[in-house]
Amino acid sequence: MSRAELAVVGERVLLGDELVPATVFVEAGRIAAVRRGADREVDAERVFDAGDDVVSPGFVDLHVHFDNPGDDLAADYRIGTANAALGGCTFVIEHPFTTPPTTTAARYAAKSELGAHGAIVDFGLWGALTGPGLGELGGQRELGAPGFKAFLPENDMDYPSASDDDLRQGLAETARHGGLVLVHAEDREGLSAAIAAERAAGRTDYGAALAARSPELELEAVRRVLEIAEKTGGAVHFVHLSLPAAVDLVTAARERGVAASCEVTAHHLLLDAEDFLRLGWTALCAPPLRARPEVEGMWQRLRDGAIDAVVSDHCVYSVADKAVAEHDALGGPFGIQSAREFAPLFLDEALRRGWALPEALALVTSRPAERCGAAPAKGRIAPGADADLAVLQLGEPRPVQASGQFGPHRWSPYEGRPSTVRVRATVARGEFVVLDGGLVTDHGPGAFVPLAIPAPAPAKSSA
């Protein structure tokens, strides 16, 4: 092998499911070779010695929204991907419900091009599944959409909520041509009625926001979508599930041969309903934070392997926009900005609970990469993979500080929360974009990555 551009040497490098001494050689943005043993005398143009810090594949976040308040999409992507990089993420996939929503192939193409002008790390784009846009699925797929987002609750006219018939057509198409249908699962009619009832009673506070988005609304939506997926043979992925019973429905469907998967956000693992009532608008999200027993149940399902990925569901709002919820929590805005914080805090909590670090790392590296079609280029340290790495320091607890976020809007429900996991460095396509915990580039190597997921194999008959 010729002299490598970069060699990363460490005593704890994640190879497969093991943390071992190793040397990682990087050339032209890819991993050229991996050698067991920490060779500090290696011949390379640059040698980075991670010491006892953990060298992980860069994190993969399946769920972000980079719609910052403003009109400059390239700047939005720079801010969003910079925060992702600060949190160890080297690949993110943005959801289509932004401004403008990517409901057409033309908008999808424009966003992939404009976003690349600002991206610090690589990104993909989910497509959109709406009734008026059903004819756009093929065009979005050809441009690199690995799946299509369906929003079930009542929604903006520019991104109308999906009916059962819309889901049926979308899932039937993915059964034929590949891709996932991603679903925000809250029952539309039930939620609209519950919100109306709270308003009629004069309740718009945080307690009303919890009451209106009851567990049964999520469960009913998951049941109905799984029935449609089973009949059509399409692949469905449930975003931000918050209930163990909902995960159990997905597990049971898988056992029947349905191509079903799901994710959980870090905030649905790290915070609960009592935290929401205490924190207010910084923790307002949909579905809402749940009672502590539900949170514990999600941790158990996660460890059992029933959940495919931990994600951020990163959303950006100004403090002024978010604080509107103090007067009307039923109307939002919903979402938590956490691209920088979600993975280190999830790993910290998993370690506190006695998990082995490789077990937790898989849920933010290899497993999400596999689910979105980004593997084997993303989510692993192996020859041929993209040279995307996160170097993690594990040590004394340090408090989360929103002031360390990148961009004009700095707030977090995790403010002051101690974490033993800190991102020391992030390498994207062989370039250091974060060093000593700080951003070191204005224009990283980030690019749009088109993805594809093959059609699921037909379910075997039980007859």
Confidence of residue 68 (pLDDT cuts 50, 70, 90): low
pLDDT of 335 higher than 50: yes
Q: Are 21 and 11 in contact (CB under 8 A)?
A: yes
> For 241-270, what is the mean pLDDT?
99
pLDDT at residue 74, as a whole number: 67
C-alpha–C-alpha distance, residues 129 and 161, integer Å: 9
Over range 131-152, report the average pLDDT: 97
Name which residue leads in pLDDT, 173 or 459.
Answer: 173
Model confidence pLDDT, tens digit, residues 441-457: 988 899 999 999 998 87
- Rounded Cα distance between 363 and 82, Å, is 21
Let me know how many helices (H) and strands (E) the chain has, helices first: 15, 17
Q: How far apart are CA 194 and CA 288, in angstroms?
A: 14
Cis-peptide, bond into residue 100, ω within 30° of zero: yes
- As for how many domains the chain has, the answer is 1
CA distance 439 to 56: 18
Q: Residues 69-82: what's their mean pLDDT?
A: 78
Q: Is residue 407 part of a domain?
A: no
Q: Half-sphere exposure of residue 416, counting CA atoms within 13 Å on the CB side?
A: 2
How confident is the prediction for the chain on average, in pLDDT?
A: 95
Return d(Cα 65, Cα 101) in angstroms, integer. Answer: 11
Checking if the pLDDT of 461 tops 70, the result is: no
Q: Can you tell me the mean pLDDT for 256-275?
A: 98
Q: Considering the entire predicted model, what is its pTM? A: 0.96
pLDDT tens for each residue of 7-44: 999 999 999 999 999 999 999 999 999 999 999 999 89
Between CA 238 and CA 306 the distance in angstroms is 12
Query: Where are any strands of DSSP class E within 152-302?
Result: 180-184, 235-238, 260-265
**What is the pLDDT, as a whole number, of residue 108?**
96
pLDDT (0 to 100) of residue 463: 36
Burial of 285 (0-12, 13-18, 19+ CB in 10 A): buried
Tell whether 380 is covered by a domain.
no
Whether 398 maps to a domain, the answer reads no
Determine the Cα–Cα distance for residues 359 and 155; give it in Å rounded to an integer.
37
CATH at residue 78: 3.20.20.140
**Has residue 196 been placed in a domain?**
yes
Average pLDDT of the residues in 68-78: 70
Q: Which residues of 254-282 are buried (b: 16+ CB within 10 A; e: fewer)?
A: eeebbbbbbbbbbbbbbbbbebbeebbbb
pLDDT digits (tens, 9 = 90+) for 301-310: 999 999 999 9
Instruction: Report whether pLDDT(247) > 90.
Output: yes
Name the pLDDT band for 332 (thresholds 50, 70, 90): confident
Helix, strand, coil proportions of the chain in percent (round to 5)? 35, 25, 40
Q: Percent of the chain scored above 70 by pLDDT?
A: 97
Residue 352 lies in a domain: yes
Token representation of residue 220: 């009913």
Other CB atoms within 10 Å distance of the CB of residue 357: 18
On the question of pLDDT at 462 being above 50, the answer is no
Contacts of residue 205, Cβ cutoff 8 Å, sequence gap at least 6: 329
Specify whether the backbone of 354 is left (phi greater than 0), alpha (psi in -120 to 50) or beta: left
In a domain, 294, yes or no: yes
- Would you say residue 437 lies in a domain? no
pLDDT, tens digit, for every residue of 276-290?
999 999 999 999 999
Residue 19, classed as helix, strand or coil, is strand
Is the pLDDT confidence value at 116 over 70? yes
Instruction: Quote the domain boundaries for residue 344.
Output: 58-372
Looking at the domain assignment, is residue 13 inside a domain? no
Please report which confidence band the pLDDT of residue 371 belongs to, taking 50, 70 and 90 as the band edges.
very high
- How far is C-alpha 293 from the chain's CA centre? 24
